[in-house]
Structure 1
């Protein structure tokens, strides 16, 4: 029996979820691109309470590691690290693209690569590619402008907060691009990826921040 607490603060929503053997037991979410540091701790506490569990009864703590906003990622990572250390449980990293892909219907993922695209707010998107039939990113996200998008090697499903613009750009080129409803990562979807990692069905990933570009805010020295 695998019990996983998953936490996400990568983009304009923060969330926490408790999964047991891949089944969602409790979840909380709050939209907005600020305040993750204050919102996430009570969310984690609430999902544990709703599931009737203590942190020491978990098998692992999962966290979305990015790409995403510097402040939100750090808040989620710090909380996950604190819970994991206090409970003596392992930490599992999940990329933003992997969490977005896990929310795409399995039938779609079976035949299409998932292109997860995150708006970096600097005129580019961060492209993370997930192969068909997989939930594991095989390479680091690539920062590109919409005009510089590479040619897909087959049908793609587009997810992420920049999905609408990217899917339209690909369609204008004549590519087979399906716009999905998976626009923001969610802790419940991240928990599904983490469960596969815990079971050894996906390559491991450390719970360390994945910054594709230097943060807009300079971290303390």
Structure 2
């Protein structure tokens, strides 16, 4: 595998009041240092849905646009948990860029991108069981990610786990937690953190995961009561 030193990062996962779109160009140095070369970020659901525009602007800012001598060697995209529409738009855009460039596309979760810094915070504190990454969802719920996976939780049904935990994420304060809980300042992953997690997965240091939207909830669409229409003749 050739050395990857240029990564296009896309993130449209943030939901609710935190909804935004992020596109960035990240360079990887010979000693594994990650440097932000260009970044475009805009708030609002519409920004996440139009993440292709942000990607084009970031690539132009970095000088990695189509026809330039240097172009991305890997596309990294946050696959969730988060906004249904934002995930579809960002994953589709990532797949399109990867296909056009002829490079791999790698998906990571928010927790995977933040895991290194959260693990470090847990180790520095005394007696913590681990970390919870809490992000906004719809209809009075939040997404809770741990090293074991992701679940959607209704706030009214939330039962805090036993022990003391580090709680991070843009909705960290929305969950009632027992005394001794430690709040992290980490809310959303940076472009460099997303790039690092994606490259780790590309190298086989993280388990496999498709670069497809991570839908935690079952689909809300239902079949018509009368069933589907018969096929045309």
TM-score by length of structure 2 reads: 0.75
1:10 aligns with 2:22: no
Q: Take 1:198 and 1:36, find their aligned partners in 2: how far apart are those partners?
A: 25
- Where structure 1 has 5 or more consecutive residues not aligned to the other structure, the ranges are 131-137
Query: After superposition, what is the alpha-carbon deviation per residue over 1:151-193, rounded to whole angstroms, capped at 9, x for unaligned?
Result: 155x432222320122xx21xx22x322223334444432221
Change (3 A) 1:121 1:100: farther
User: Is this contact kept in 2: 1:61–1:92, CA < 8 A?
Assistant: yes
Matches within 5 A, 1:54-203: 54=65, 57-101=71-115, 104=117, 107-111=120-124, 113-130=130-147, 138-139=148-149, 141-146=150-155, 147-152=157-162, 155-166=164-175, 169-170=176-177, 173-174=178-179, 176-203=180-207
CA-to-aligned-CA distance 1:11-46 (integer Å, 9 cap, x gap) = 1111011112122222111111334232x1222122
Q: 1:116 to 1:106 in 2, by over 3 A?
A: closer
Q: Number of aligned pairs?
A: 203
Q: Distance in 1 between matches of 2:46 and 2:210?
A: 25
1:88-143 Cα shifts (integer Å, max 9, x gaps): 111111113323446x467415446331112322222221103xxxxxxx32x122
Relative contact order (alpha carbons < 8 A, sep ≥ 6): 1 or 2 greater? 1
With over 3 angstroms needed to count, the CA separation of the structure-2 counterparts of 1:200 and 1:23, relative to structure 1, is: farther
Question: Contact (CA 8 Å) 1:126, 1:142: kept in 2 or not?
Answer: yes
Residue in structure 1 matched with residue 64 of structure 2 by the alignment: 53
Q: 2:44 aligns with which of 20, 32, 36?
A: 32
For the residues of structure 2 that align with 1:49 and 1:94, how far apart are their CA atoms?
24
Cα-Cα RMSD: 2.7
With normalisation by structure 1, the TM-score equals 0.79
Query: Is 1:101–1:182's contact at 8 Å kept on the other side of the alignment?
Result: no
Q: Could you tell me which runs of 5 or more consecutive residues in structure 2 were left unpaired when the two chains were aligned.
A: 29-33, 223-227, 229-233
Larger Rg computed on CA atoms: 2
8 Å CA contact 1:27, 1:188 repeated in 2: no
